[in-house]
Structure 1
Amino acid sequence: MTGYCLGRPEVRFDLAALKAFYADKRVLITGAAGSVGSALSLELARLGCAHLAMLDQFDHGLINIVESVRRIAPKLQITEALCDVRDSGRLDAWVRRIEPDVVIHSAALKHVHLGERHPVECVLTNLLGVRNALSAAVNAGAGHFMLISSDKAAAPSCVMGATKRLAELHLTGFQMERPTATRLKAVRFGNVLGSQGSVLPRFEAQIAAGGPLEVTHEDMERFFMSVQEAVGLILSVTAYGDEGAGTYFMEMGAPISIIELGRDMIRASGKEIAVEITGLRPGEKLKEQLADECEAITPTTLPGVFRVTPIAEDAYVTAADVAHFEALARTMENAVVRQRVFACLDQRLQRPARVAG
């Protein structure tokens, strides 16, 4: 371990070992224009993978990451794929053309508060998009499929987290219904420092504007990790998560107080900035967690990395379940879709149904 991440030692993964694994691999990253997808693309270029395919529906962001990769690895074979993961036909055609050994599915809607206002969109991207990418990867003979999930999938209170949890459970359901040699895994992690939509850039902008610095609650806490840790975790679990299918997370130390983080940034700025408490928003929790009471936690061969698996025997999401949600999302109102998402999750995890409201 070298360096620090908000006061704790930063975890460093064995990049030399990763280089040996990825050197002969054809890798496809969906959501390649996002913060984590871009960082993964750059790291895989440095590791010297055999072929790197970057897929995203955001044209400007896709151009930027493709050009950045070409600058650092001009001889690397690259495919740029302008495609929406919701479009199963186009996605399947792209993945068959690329013939990846590894698919890392990073494409997602990740904004908690926007997701609360648009549950249908969360279902279409975070559940159907995963169904489409997973099916395409298996159809193309990929050896590894990695789903990028979130700590908000543990005891989820927001639609974004709930759809991520359903997507995790779909990996299990897919394997049950369609046994495959493709290794199916997911990783959860907390806030990635400096990523799009994270709290640090928002605080920086508020401080630069003279304030106020907005915090929803005095007791708000979050887990944080660096971009390097996120990339190392994803690539390492993909390559060496020998414990098999399941969801993995990394020990990230004690959660960080958001208001204290903001005050530290104010002090570092040398400015007089007021702190304003704005109140919890829909779907927001005071404290996040990496696993919940519906899961069993086991250590892995990767130091500081753990695997979680559902306790309930029926904790899986089938192809029929996903098709049902697709029909709902295309015909029902947001409120109905939100209620059905949580009802399905509660039923599959065998926990008491939550009270609406």
Structure 2
Amino acid sequence: MTLEGKNVLITGGTGSFGKAYARHILENYRLNKLVLFSRDEQKHYVQKREFLAWGDKVQFVIGDIRDRDKVFEVCRGMDVVIHSAAMKHMPMAEEHPMEAIKTNVLGSQNLIDACVFNGVKKVVALSTDKAALPINVYGGTKLLLERLFITANAQHGQNTSFAVVRYANVFGSKGSVIPLFMKLKDSGELPITHPEMTRFSITMEEGIALIQFAIERSLGGEIIVPIAPSYKVGDVAEAVCPDCEKKIIGPRVAEKMHEVLVSEFEAKQTIKARDYYIIVPELGIRGMADYLNNYKGQKAPISQYDSGSNSDWLSVEGIIKLISET
């Protein structure tokens, strides 16, 4: 599907990703209308001033994904919906699990129901590597989001296509460790969880490309995963401030040493296409052959895809280069 001439809705449209993705599609496609939906009025105020050049082609709607009636209203007339609204800060989700469930799970079901009711053609949700073999509340809620989308596609995919992209850490984003290290480097000390802790990393540009790939190529029901490099937290600290003292503080509650993008249970249902792994749904209206043909892919040569055993690594020099470009 192309975005040319389409009405597009981005939930969480004033967040880090929503803002970057909105700017990208406005600059590269002749949309009919773009609606940015989120509950943060301050972000709406700031972003609206930054998007003045696109005039009334962009609409800013204040609302909460938890508000079922508002979600049904904002989905009316949409062709494509990108679902990035989430409660995503892991420690806050641990302290307030029901709040994470209300937003990430119940809010996602509100969106699914609204998209089916309003005849939206394509819906793509943002998930996280923490949804694979989850050990924390945030990962658990995102796993449920993925299951809701897969089930929705099995039930309604002939009319409304639902797909998921499973993100790695976006390099330099607010949720990553880099802004924290940059803020603290003048103090001469950087707190690190563990020097050997690893994470996958993608750039914002790669994240945007991942969403575009899903919009243009997804059949529905699949989870699309980037093939990405890993980095060590200790190497990031070294890249930011080689002369700083590195104080090891240990992992946070329910934090993994290594993240997983494709679990061993999913690997048997995974194909490789270009720079992506595609986790094919076992439940759905299509079979493995349909996805292999659509993506012109092949069975993925993996038993599990995790950041600790990855074959592609960012060096300290590579991290320095990415910081300079962020």
Q: Give the C-alpha shift of residue 299 in structure 1.
A: 1.9
Query: Which amino acid letter does the alignment assign opposite residue 279 of structure 1?
Result: G
Q: Secondary structure at the match of 1:166?
A: helix
The answer to whether the 8 A contact 1:27-1:100 is kept is yes
The answer to whether the 8 A contact 1:194-1:201 is kept is yes
Q: 5 Å matches for 1:123-202?
A: 123-178=101-156, 180-202=158-180
Q: 5 Å matches for 1:37-186?
A: 37-47=18-28, 48-71=30-53, 73-74=54-55, 77-96=57-76, 99-178=77-156, 180-186=158-164
Is the counterpart of residue 293 in structure 1 residue 264 in structure 2? yes
Alpha-carbon distance in 2 for matches of 1:180, 1:84: 28
Q: Give the C-alpha shift of residue 241 in structure 1.
A: 2.4
Root mean square deviation of aligned Cα: 1.8
The answer to whether the 8 A contact 1:42-1:68 is kept is no
Alpha-carbon distance in 2 for matches of 1:196, 1:95: 28
Counterpart of 2:221 (choices 231, 245, 259) is 245
Tell me: CA distance 1:127–1:159, structure 2 relative to 1, closer, same or farther (3 Å). same
Q: Give the C-alpha shift of residue 203 in structure 1.
A: 0.7
- Which residue in the other structure is 1:7 paired with? none
- Which residue in the other structure is 1:283 paired with? 254
Alpha-carbon distance in 1 for matches of 2:93, 2:105: 13
The answer to whether the 8 A contact 1:294-1:310 is kept is no
- Which residue in the other structure is 1:339 paired with? none
Is the counterpart of residue 22 in structure 1 residue 8 in structure 2? no
Q: Secondary structure at the match of 1:223?
A: strand
Q: 5 Å matches for 1:191-270?
A: 191-208=169-186, 210-242=187-219, 244-253=220-229, 255-267=230-242
Q: Give the C-alpha shift of residue 179 in structure 1.
A: 5.3
Q: Give a deviation string over 1:151-173, Cα, whole Å, max 9, x none.
A: 11111111101110111011122
Q: Give the C-alpha shift of residue 206 in structure 1.
A: 1.1
Tell me: CA distance 1:276–1:289, structure 2 relative to 1, closer, same or farther (3 Å). same
The answer to whether the 8 A contact 1:249-1:307 is kept is yes
**How many residue pairs were aligned?**
281
The answer to whether the 8 A contact 2:81-2:122 is kept is yes
Q: Give a deviation string over 1:21-41, Cα, whole Å, max 9, x none.
A: 212111000001111111111
Alpha-carbon distance in 1 for matches of 2:73, 2:260: 38
The ranges of structure 1 where at least 4 consecutive aligned residues each deviate by more than 3 angstroms after the TM superposition are 175-180
Alpha-carbon distance in 1 for matches of 2:255, 2:59: 38
The answer to whether the 8 A contact 1:104-1:145 is kept is yes
Alpha-carbon distance in 1 for matches of 2:188, 2:93: 26
Q: Secondary structure at the match of 1:86?
A: coil
Tell me the TM-score normalised to structure 1 length: 0.75
Tell me the TM-score normalised to structure 2 length: 0.82
Query: Which amino acid letter does the alignment assign opposite residue 83 of structure 1?
Result: G
Tell me: CA distance 1:40–1:203, structure 2 relative to 1, closer, same or farther (3 Å). same
